C-alpha cells in the first residue's frame, strides 16, 4: 500500500484533497498531518474519518524532531504539502508565524523526505502546493505563466515564494523529485470565514457590514476548490518531475462585482428582496500592499495533462452560498475560537 502524507489536510483545500484521495484511491494509505490551528478543523472530514485507508496525525511541521521521526516511522512514498498560514491579512499583523510555518516547516519536510528516501528517489514525490500570489500583481492586461518572475508583496506571498525556491533548490541540489503548482483563489465549502467569500456570505445573512477594501476594484481569478483538488490529483500522478504548473479558473472578478453577486444570491436563497443586501457594502481602508490583479494562464496544465475546470462559476457560487447557509453548525463550530476577537481588533484599527 502506497503511503501518502498530506499536510494541512484539516484546512480548506486540504480537506477536499484528503476526501478525494481517500475515496478515489482505496489502495493508498492517506496520512493527514495537521496542527489544527484556528484554520484546521476535523469537522471538515467527519464523513471520511472512519475510512480504513485514512489516518489523522496531530503535529506541527515546525517541530523538526517530530517531523524527522514521523518520516522514519511511516516511510512515506509521497508528500503533498499544503500546511501553511494562508491568510494575507494575518501575515500583515503577524508575519513571524508565516516565516516559521511556511518556510521553516517546508524545509523540515524537505530534509525529512531527503533523509528517509536516502537518494533512492525512484517512485517518490514531494509535491508542494503554492499560490499565484508569488508572481506579484498584474496591471489590467496579461496573465501569470510558469516563467513569470517572482515578485511577492505581502509577508504571506513572500513566505510562499521562499518555500517554492527552497523546494526547487532541493531538486536542483540534491535531485529530490519535486513538483510545484501555483493556484489562483479557491472558493467552496469548508473555507474559514475570514476569507472574502465565506466572510461576506455570513455577514450578509446576519445583516452585518461588508468591509470592502479600498474601492473594491482589485481582481481575483476564482476556481472551485474541487477543481483545484482534481488538478493536484492529475499533477501528482502525471506531472513532470521538477516542473511547475499554474492552476486557474480563467474566471476573473472585480471584488465589488463578486460581492454584488453574493448579495443577490444570498438574498434569493433566504427569501430577502433580491439585491437589498447591497446596502451592507461598506468601503474601508485598503489592505496594505494590496495586489491589484491576479490572472492565471493554465494552458500548460490543460495541454500537457488534460486538466480543465469542471464547474461554471454561476453554478459553483450558488452551490457555495447554499453550503454555508445550510451549515450553520459548522460555522459556529469553527468560529468558536479566536476568530471574533481577531476581527474586532482589525476593524478597530481601520
Catalytic (active-site) positions: 132-133, 156
Q: Which stretch binds ligand NAD (CB under 6 A): 21-29, 81-89, 255-263, 309-317?
A: 81-89
Q: Which stretch binds ligand NAD (CB under 6 A): 30-38, 68-76, 267-275, 303-311?
A: 30-38
Counting contacts by CB under 6 A, is residue 60 touching ligand NAD?
yes
> Is the distance from CB of 129 to CB of 81 less than 8 angstroms?
yes
The DSSP code for 99 is I
> Which residue, judged by CB position, is nearest to ligand DAU in the bound state?
131
* Cβ distance to ligand DAU smaller for residue 60 or 133: 133
Looking up cell 500522478, which residue turns up? 237
Alpha carbon distance 298, 281 (integer Å): 33
Size of the site for ligand DAU (CB under 6 A): 19
* Cβ distance to ligand NAD smaller for residue 16 or 171: 16
Counting contacts by CB under 6 A, is residue 101 touching ligand NAD?
yes
Counting contacts by CB under 6 A, is residue 185 touching ligand NAD?
yes
Alpha carbon distance 266, 201 (integer Å): 7
Q: Looking at 32, 41, 86, 106, which residue binds ligand DAU (CB under 6 A)?
A: 86
User: Mutual orientation of helices 225-238 and 12-24 as an angle, nearest 10°?
Assistant: 60
Alpha carbon distance 215, 234 (integer Å): 38
Looking up cell 496591471, which residue turns up? 139
> Is the distance from CB of 327 to CB of 128 less than 8 angstroms?
no
Interaction pattern, residues 245-284, with ligand NAD; x per rule: CB under 6 A: ----------------------------------------
Window 4-23: residues binding ligand DAU (CB under 6 A): none
Alpha carbon distance 46, 43 (integer Å): 5
* Cβ distance to ligand DAU smaller for residue 53 or 91: 91
In terms of Cβ atoms closer than 10 Å to its own Cβ (0-12, 13-18, 19+), residue 85 is: buried
> Is the distance from CB of 119 to CB of 46 less than 8 angstroms?
no
Neighbours of 241 (CB within 10 A): 14
Q: Residue 55 pairs with which residues in a beta bridge? A: 31
Window 109-148: residues binding ligand DAU (CB under 6 A): 131-133
Alpha carbon distance 176, 183 (integer Å): 22
Looking up cell 495533462, which residue turns up? 305
249 to 43, 81, 164: CA distances (angstroms): 27, 22, 22
- Strands 178-183 and 210-213 come out as unpaired
Closest approach of ligand DAU to the CB of residue 211, in Å: 5
- Say which residues have a Cβ less than 8 Å from residue 162's Cβ, sequence separation at least 6: 102, 103
* Cβ distance to ligand DAU smaller for residue 54 or 294: 294
Q: Which stretch binds ligand DAU (CB under 6 A): 102-110, 205-213, 260-268, 327-335?
A: 205-213
Q: Which stretch binds ligand DAU (CB under 6 A): 14-22, 82-90, 138-146, 242-250?
A: 82-90
* Cβ distance to ligand DAU smaller for residue 53 or 185: 185
* Cβ distance to ligand DAU smaller for residue 203 or 230: 203
Which residues of the shown chain bind ligand NAD in the complex (CB under 6 A)?
7-8, 10-14, 34-37, 39-40, 60-62, 82-86, 101, 105, 129, 131, 160, 183, 185-186, 192
Which residues of the shown chain bind ligand DAU in the complex (CB under 6 A)?
86-88, 131-133, 184-185, 195-196, 199, 211-213, 218, 220, 255, 287, 294
Amino acid at each position: 500500500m502506497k503511503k501518502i502524507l498530506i499536510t494541512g489536510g484539516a484546512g480548506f483545500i486540504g480537506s477536499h484533497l484528503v476526501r478525494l484521495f481517500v475515496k478515489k484511491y482505496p489502495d493508498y494509505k492517506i496520512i493527514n498531518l495537521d496542527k489544527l490551528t484556528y484554520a484546521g478543523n476535523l469537522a471538515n472530514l467527519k464523513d471520511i474519518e472512519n475510512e480504513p485507508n485514512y489516518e489523522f496525525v496531530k503535529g506541527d511541521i515546525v517541530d523538526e524532531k517530530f517531523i524527522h521521526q514521523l518520516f522514519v516511522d511511516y516511510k512515506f512514498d509521497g508528500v503533498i504539502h499544503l500546511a501553511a498560514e494562508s491568510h494575507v491579512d494575518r501575515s500583515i499583523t503577524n508575519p513571524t508565524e508565516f516565516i516559521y510555518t511556511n518556510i521553516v516547516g517546508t524545509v523540515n519536510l524537505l530534509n525529512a523526505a531527503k533523509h528517509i528516501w536516502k537518494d533512492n528517489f525512484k517512485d517518490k514525490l514531494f509535491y508542494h502546493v503554492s499560490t499565484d500570489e508569488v508572481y506579484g500583481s498584474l496591471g489590467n492586461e496579461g496573465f501569470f505563466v510558469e516563467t513569470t518572475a517572482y515578485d511577492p508583496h505581502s509577508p504571506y506571498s513572500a513566505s510562499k515564494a521562499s518555500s517554492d525556491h527552497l523546494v526547487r533548490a532541493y531538486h536542483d541540489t540534491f535531485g529530490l523529485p519535486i513538483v510545484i503548482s501555483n493556484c489562483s483563489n479557491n472558493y467552496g465549502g469548508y473555507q474559514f470565514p475570514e476569507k472574502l467569500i465565506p466572510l461576506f456570505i455570513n455577514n450578509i445573512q446576519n445583516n452585518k457590514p461588508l468591509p470592502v477594501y479600498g474601492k473594491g476594484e482589485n481582481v481575483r481569478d476564482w476556481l472551485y476548490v474541487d477543481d483545484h483538488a482534481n488538478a493536484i490529483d492529475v499533477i501528482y500522478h502525471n506531472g513532470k518531475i521538477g516542473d511547475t504548473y499554474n492552476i486557474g479558473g480563467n474566471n476573473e472578478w472585480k471584488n465589488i462585482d463578486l460581492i454584488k453577486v453574493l448579495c443577490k444570491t444570498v438574498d434569493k436563497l433566504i427569501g430577502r428582496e433580491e439585491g437589498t443586501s447591497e446596502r451592507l457594502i461598506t468601503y474601508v481602508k485598503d489592505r496594505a500592499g494590496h495586489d491589484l490583479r491576479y490572472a492565471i494562464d493554465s494552458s500548460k496544465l490543460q495541454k500537457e495533462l488534460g486538466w480543465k475546470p469542471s464547474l461554471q462559476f454561476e453554478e459553483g457560487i450558488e452551490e457555495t452560498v447554499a453550503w454555508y447557509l445550510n451549515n450553520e453548525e459548522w460555522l459556529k463550530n469553527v468560529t468558536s475560537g479566536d476568530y471574533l476577537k481577531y476581527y474586532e481588533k482589525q476593524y478597530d484599527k481601520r
